[in-house]
Structure 1
Amino acid sequence: MTDYVAFALQFLVAAGLLVSACYYVASYWCARKFFSERRVTSGLPDAELPGVTILKPLKGIEPELFDNLASFCRQDYPRFQVVFAVADPADPAIGVVRELKRSFPQVDIELVVDSRIYGPNYKVSNLQNGYRVARYDYLVIADSDIRVPPHYLRTIVADLVRPEVGVVTCAYRARPVGGWPAAVEALFVNTDFTPSVFVARVVETTRYAFGATMAVRREVLERIGGFLSLARYLADDFFLGNLVSRLGFKVEISPLLVDTYLAVPTWRRLVEHQLRWSRTYRSVRGGSYFALVLTHGFLWALLNLGLHWGDWRAWMVAAGLLGLRLTVAATVASRFLQVPLRPADLCLIPLKDLLLSVLWASAFFGNTVSWSGHRFRVLARGEMAPVTGGSEGLPLVQKSEARPKFGTGAES
């Protein structure tokens, strides 16, 4: 029995070493493929481009907030509206929106302040409240930490006008704001998450979206039940793409890469965010999440050293795998994502990879997460519920009372 267990462990470690090495090579190849493709744009003249409403749910102040939001007001696009939705009348983000309205008087900017909620996902409640004043049938949703170039809307719409496309989303690169926790968080994005997006795009059909950008036509959104259909899910971006894909539409990853400016003030905030991501991923794609550990090369290299500590070949394997990992990470980040890694970043990658493995395992031991100052329990199939029960004192609106109204729009 002991020999059988030892053989099984050695086989598992060998498989992990092989799969992770292949994955690193594949992540480079898939990134190269993504950026080498030339997509056909719509070629529509300005007069025929559809109007677009940008929905921006906001809560609180974060570094770079004004510049992030301002980038959506600087679009080289003939007709667009920007709707900022806030729940709390005392939210300091309201002051930033008013400053934007003064700075961009030529832009159609709406501020909606509405505390009504429709489920435990308060971001979706903000979106629903902002949706009531959306003027146009092409909708673009993006998180508050995202910054985009002036041609952003033109690029997104070029895909969204195709009738077979139901959702357009964007991969993203991270730019840290602040100290080491933000730098490590950026490494999670630039060396793990975004390369995995490029790989997934090649090996499977995309059936999900990312919060960095979710673009959808109004009629498609209404067919899945509107924003209200997302109000009970933690991963609203995943389920928007998933529900739309079930209707037979394609989810298109735009060739445009957007920026997320990460302000992570503490190590605790970093761990909470990554643990939320891990537990969310496990709840919606359990099998895929379980297999993810096979791509954790540093973990398998350490386990291999533990099994063969005195064998020089184990040290050579560890050195070779680590060298491959760092080379691919640095190349993808600098050549494709345009965010070169510093020597300090390269030194942090092995420690960050080990933390990633710890977080992967932690996702199986508990189902609570922290998000925007609230604690939630992750339920089956990605649904969520406040740990304290109810909706933490906010007024709940039933679905029957939450029909969107169009074309009115006023700051309240």
Structure 2
Amino acid sequence: MASQSESRDVLKLTLASASVVWYVILWTIGLIGCISARKRYRLRPRSPLSSAPASSVPGVTIIRPLKGLDTNLYENLESTFKQDYPNFELWFCVDDEDDQALPVVRDLMAKYPNANAHIAIRNGLTVGVNPKVNNLMAAYRQAANDILWVLDSNVMVDPGTLARAVDLLSPPPTASNASKPRIGVVHHVPFAYVSKPSLGSYVEQAFLNTNHAKMYIAINTVAIDSCVVGKSCLYRKSDLERVDGSLRPIPNAENGGQQPGERGLEAFGRFLAEDNMIAGALWHELGLRHDLSCDVAHNAVGHMTLMDYIARRIRWIRVRKRMVFAATMAEPFTESVVAGCLASIGLKYLLGIPPWLFLPLHILVWLLVDLDVYASLAGYPVPSGDRLQFIATWAIRELLALPIWFVAIVGNEVTWRGTRYEVMENGEVRKAGHDGRGVLGWLRRHGRKSTDYYEPLEVRE
């Protein structure tokens, strides 16, 4: 009897100690993200490439996949025309001549007649199930430059973004970087702003600008593995043409080795999260590093209901589950509610600290760190008039994180751009063959018909 009691005590001590140790580790990661955000984003110097002669800088092909009238589409696309960089071409990709984005593109091309801008029409070209990859292919095949900058249609960028990104992708040779693997991907952390006020939009904004940004920056600072959200990415076409998404290292990669069989962008048409897979392939197959620029990808969030937000989060958790299973399973333990509750139990057992005292302090400090990350990315704190609303939607996001994860983890079907897919074991997808059922189907029926949040815009004269 005494032995069983001792065993229970040892187990309790072990679990309590583990919860506190994990809490310390989690805070260490969070502070890395917060401190790195301060160092990286609070100063954005002008790149010398901005004023260099066009013949002395690498050429860049900017590719923007379009579908319909996305939120703030005119301003988003115009931001690429206004890049302070002397040598780039622009490609705007649509599925067909009837796409509503085309008048916006043509209006901008008329406004900037000296820009080297082109339209690529897919016209049925299909290399896989991913509609974005299919949309990109025509421009990808006609790109005049090796460096590609792929930006989503709902992203707006500052004028100096391209020059600073090329600085990172093609740095001058120095003794300090001679022994390091070269940079294969330069990417930008998303920073959301709400253009169509709604509850789901504000929750999405609170998520992307705090917890998501903090963890994203921390993981990329530690750089133990690839972690890229592809709203805005620069990489070399010549690198992409050597990899296939298998994530198998190429034995002679340093000497120009390549994977057998299908390679290049078309090889990634079988994945839904092609951006993450491209970055992972360059990391694992070629051994190249990634780097975050000091710029952000301003992500316009249109009208989004709370149901839309929930369905969106379920979709990407299900995709990640098939790609990074261990990290997805551990995700609830990185959230403020679960981590705080576990730590409060551990501290009560080990030190006698009551949960009613610990938990409010934990939430307050967690919130303050998240607000600091927001201020680093934005360049200013949350405006005082919006602070209570921001904190309220931040709290909704934190409370919804665990229920959303539970729903997402038990299914494999997702809906993207009006098409349902089944996510396979290796991260590939195939079109689903039956009507949506269960919680996600209910969310689709009670939310908006599309979860891509397109809004009609008046085309400027």
Please report the TM-score for the alignment, with normalisation by the length of structure 2.
0.77
The residue that corresponds to 1:156 in the other structure is: 165
The answer on whether the counterparts of 2:47 and 2:160 sit within 8 Å (CA) in structure 1 is no
The residue that corresponds to 2:31 in the other structure is: 25
The answer on whether the counterparts of 1:299 and 1:354 sit within 8 Å (CA) in structure 2 is no
The answer on whether the counterparts of 2:190 and 2:297 sit within 8 Å (CA) in structure 1 is yes
The residue that corresponds to 1:340 in the other structure is: 381
| Amino acid in structure 1 at the alignment position of 2:410 | F
Find the aligned partners of 1:218 and 1:305 in 2 and give their Cα distance.
50
Task: Mark the runs of 5 or more structure 2 residues left unpaired by the alignment.
Answer: 174-181, 244-262, 435-461
**Deviation (angstroms), 1:19:** 4.5
| Cα offsets for 1:233-280 (capped at 9, x unmatched) | 111111111111221222222222221111143222211211122122
Count the aligned residue pairs. 387
The residue that corresponds to 2:372 in the other structure is: 331
Residue 290 in structure 1 maps to residue 325 in structure 2: no
Residue 137 in structure 1 maps to residue 182 in structure 2: no
**Deviation (angstroms), 1:75:** 1.3
Change (3 A) 1:202 1:157: closer
Which residue of 222, 226, 232 corresponds with 1:203?
Answer: 222
| Cα offsets for 1:278-302 (capped at 9, x unmatched) | 1222221111222222221223445
**Deviation (angstroms), 1:367:** 0.8
Find the aligned partners of 2:136 and 2:8 in 1 and give their Cα distance.
55
Which residue of 414, 432, 445 corresponds with 1:387?
Answer: 432
The residue that corresponds to 1:400 in the other structure is: none
Deviates more, 1:313-322 or 1:79-88: 79-88
The residue that corresponds to 1:188 in the other structure is: 207
Find the aligned partners of 2:16 and 2:61 in 1 and give their Cα distance.
55
Which residue of 46, 49, 52 corresponds with 1:45?
Answer: 52
The residue that corresponds to 1:406 in the other structure is: none
Find the aligned partners of 1:141 and 1:51 in 2 and give their Cα distance.
14
The answer on whether the counterparts of 2:184 and 2:288 sit within 8 Å (CA) in structure 1 is yes
Which residue of 316, 319, 322 corresponds with 2:363?
Answer: 322
Which residue of 100, 103, 109 corresponds with 1:92?
Answer: 100
**Deviation (angstroms), 1:131:** 1.4
1:268 aligns to what SS in structure 2?
A: helix
The answer on whether the counterparts of 1:116 and 1:125 sit within 8 Å (CA) in structure 2 is yes
Change (3 A) 1:142 1:37: same
The answer on whether the counterparts of 1:21 and 1:297 sit within 8 Å (CA) in structure 2 is no
Which residue of 162, 187, 193 corresponds with 1:169?
Answer: 187
Percent identical residues:
26
Residue 235 in structure 1 maps to residue 273 in structure 2: yes
Structure 1 residue ranges, 4+ long, deviating more than 6 angstroms after superposition: 36-42, 303-308
Residue 258 in structure 1 maps to residue 300 in structure 2: no
Find the aligned partners of 2:360 and 2:169 in 1 and give their Cα distance.
46
1:144 aligns to what SS in structure 2?
A: coil
The 5 A counterparts of 1:367-382 are 367-382=412-427
Find the aligned partners of 1:228 and 1:283 in 2 and give their Cα distance.
21
**Deviation (angstroms), 1:21:** 4.1
Find the aligned partners of 1:11 and 1:354 in 2 and give their Cα distance.
25
1:255 aligns to what SS in structure 2?
A: strand
The answer on whether the counterparts of 1:206 and 1:251 sit within 8 Å (CA) in structure 2 is no
Over aligned residue pairs, what C-alpha RMSD do you find?
2.8
The residue that corresponds to 1:109 in the other structure is: 117
| Amino acid in structure 2 at the alignment position of 1:272 | A
| Cα offsets for 1:123-151 (capped at 9, x unmatched) | 01111122132222221101111101111
| Cα offsets for 1:156-181 (capped at 9, x unmatched) | 21122248222211112111122221
The answer on whether the counterparts of 2:61 and 2:90 sit within 8 Å (CA) in structure 1 is yes
Find the aligned partners of 2:146 and 2:39 in 1 and give their Cα distance.
32
The residue that corresponds to 2:410 in the other structure is: 365
1:171 aligns to what SS in structure 2?
A: strand
The residue that corresponds to 2:314 in the other structure is: 275
Find the aligned partners of 1:166 and 1:143 in 2 and give their Cα distance.
19
1:207 aligns to what SS in structure 2?
A: coil
Task: Mark the runs of 5 or more structure 1 residues left unpaired by the alignment.
Answer: 390-412
1:155 aligns to what SS in structure 2?
A: helix
The answer on whether the counterparts of 2:62 and 2:91 sit within 8 Å (CA) in structure 1 is yes
Find the aligned partners of 2:390 and 2:265 in 1 and give their Cα distance.
39
Change (3 A) 1:19 1:292: farther
The answer on whether the counterparts of 2:33 and 2:221 sit within 8 Å (CA) in structure 1 is no
2:409 aligns to what SS in structure 1?
A: coil
The answer on whether the counterparts of 2:188 and 2:231 sit within 8 Å (CA) in structure 1 is yes
The answer on whether the counterparts of 1:23 and 1:295 sit within 8 Å (CA) in structure 2 is no
Residue 244 in structure 1 maps to residue 282 in structure 2: yes
Find the aligned partners of 2:35 and 2:236 in 1 and give their Cα distance.
33
1:110 aligns to what SS in structure 2?
A: strand
